[in-house]
Structure 1
Amino acid sequence: MKVISEVMFWISNGLLIPVVVGLLVLFVLSVLQLGGLFGARQRYQRRLKRYGVLMDGLKIQGLAPLTAQLEKANGATPFEQVALQTLKANEAERNYLIGNYELELERRLSQPKILTKFGPILGLMGTLIPMGPALVGLSTGDVGSMAYNMQVAFATTVLGMFASGVGYLALQMLRSYNHRDLVWLDYINDTLSHGSK
């Protein structure tokens, strides 16, 4: 049993470097994600300002003002591309376009999901792995080794929680933006469906 526990100890200690590298990668991704969130918010606000009133007045004004605005934008964003194609498609094609757009939006959430899930996992691993050597240092009276290992443990925890927090924030914000796009596309689709009957 002692041999097995020593092998497990060495294996877990060997995982520390990959865990720390993984946390550093997640930290860089989370910083980039924060910058991307600022841009995503600005794009969403512009889209809301440009199309919110048109969508609210769709029942009264009809599709003509919305079509004119989308043609003027000339597919500058993925939403505008899909919305314009939806206006010109039949019912089956509209459902296909909206379904594909929804899948694409879900695919774009993969990075925030990775940050949210793997941040705490790697943070916890980075916390627990140095605790073994820290306890060994404590038992032998090597306070310097114990302090260093505890420093690594706390640093990895902080990095993991930071990455996870940014990922969760990004996931919630981007999902709400995506939901608004899908509500609008469904509304256009329903309006066209009822108009053709």
Structure 2
Amino acid sequence: MIIQGTETLTSLIHILSESLLTPVIILLVISVIIVILSFGGVINEYISRKPISSKELEDLIRKVSFSNNVSEMKSVIEKSNLFDYQKEILVRIANNHDIGSDARKALASELISSEETRLIKKTNKTDILIKVGPILGLLGTLIPLGPGLASLGTGDISVLAQALTIAFDTTVTGLSVGALSYLISKYKKQWYESDLINVETIAEAELETLNKW
């Protein structure tokens, strides 16, 4: 009775395992599409990105620090080569020049933190695929090997060959998805981290200047 129960459970697991192959392959295809689109987006972003240089950053900080009023400060920021979202944060800080210094500092911190959260979300997909891609590749490797090895016992080499082909293809695809996702996330995070550091640096100069008035 125990043996029969074990055989039933084993058969159930076998059926469940084999039924997962198609969803795994579908998910791998979807992952490849996402990575290709993300890679294209990174190339486009790299071409269109024109971050300010260290010299431009230095000049901007000096102009902000020596501004005589809020209008002049906002004009300096808006005419700079900063990205639009960076300008928006700094202008919003300047617009709140009439509140207390502590409240203004807290507002600046919140604005920068919110922007950081928004930028992090832009790498969520590839961050997930860094781990999910290789896992799907491993599943695609192991699932077809069961029937393939079983066919070896009956001498059906063609089934084993087909299983090995699927196993190698899914492994290569999964690892490629993971590797490309890692590179995409790495470079995008480096860009965004650099952008946020620039905003924080200018915001510090901006807050210091506003506190003097």
The equivalent residue for 1:29 is 34
The equivalent residue for 1:103 is 117
Question: 1:70 Cα deviation (Å)?
Answer: 4.1
Query: Aligned partner of 2:88: which letter?
Result: Q
- Candidates 37, 60, 82, aligned match of 2:89: 82
Q: Is 1:48 aligned to residue 52 of structure 2? A: yes
Query: Aligned partner of 1:25: which letter?
Result: I
TM-score normalised by length of structure 2: 0.81
Bigger mean CA deviation after superposition, 159-168 or 14-23: 159-168
8 A contact 1:74–1:80 mirrored in 2: no
The equivalent residue for 1:71 is 78
Percent identical pairs in the alignment equals 27
Aligned equivalents of 1:8, 1:106: Cα separation in 2: 39
TM-score normalised by length of structure 1: 0.87
Query: Aligned partner of 1:189: which letter?
Result: A
8 A contact 1:131–1:153 mirrored in 2: yes
Which structure has the greater CA radius of gyration? 2
Query: Aligned partner of 1:152: which letter?
Result: I
Question: 1:69 Cα deviation (Å)?
Answer: 5.8
Aligned equivalents of 1:173, 1:67: Cα separation in 2: 31
Query: Aligned partner of 1:29: which letter?
Result: I
The equivalent residue for 2:8 is 3
Aligned equivalents of 1:85, 1:153: Cα separation in 2: 55
8 A contact 1:75–1:81 mirrored in 2: no
Aligned equivalents of 1:161, 1:72: Cα separation in 2: 45
Q: Is 1:152 aligned to residue 166 of structure 2? A: yes
Q: Structure 1 segments of 4 or more deviating over 6 A?
A: 73-76
Query: Any idea what the Cα deviations from partners look like across 1:107-131, whole Å, max 9, x if unmatched?
Result: 1111111221210111111111011
Query: Any idea what the Cα deviations from partners look like across 1:38-68, whole Å, max 9, x if unmatched?
Result: 0121233x1235xx43212345444559854
8 A contact 2:132–2:178 mirrored in 1: yes
Aligned equivalents of 1:25, 1:4: Cα separation in 2: 32
Question: 1:5 Cα deviation (Å)?
Answer: 1.5
Question: 1:35 Cα deviation (Å)?
Answer: 0.4
Cα RMSD between the aligned structures?
Answer: 2.4
The equivalent residue for 2:157 is 143
Aligned equivalents of 2:198, 2:83: Cα separation in 1: 17
Bigger mean CA deviation after superposition, 67-76 or 151-160: 67-76
Note the residue ranges of structure 1 that are not aligned, 5 or more in a row.
none
Query: Aligned partner of 2:116: which letter?
Result: E
Residues 91, 123 of structure 1: CA spacing in aligned structure 2 closer, same or farther, 3 A cutoff?
A: same
How many residues align? The count is: 194
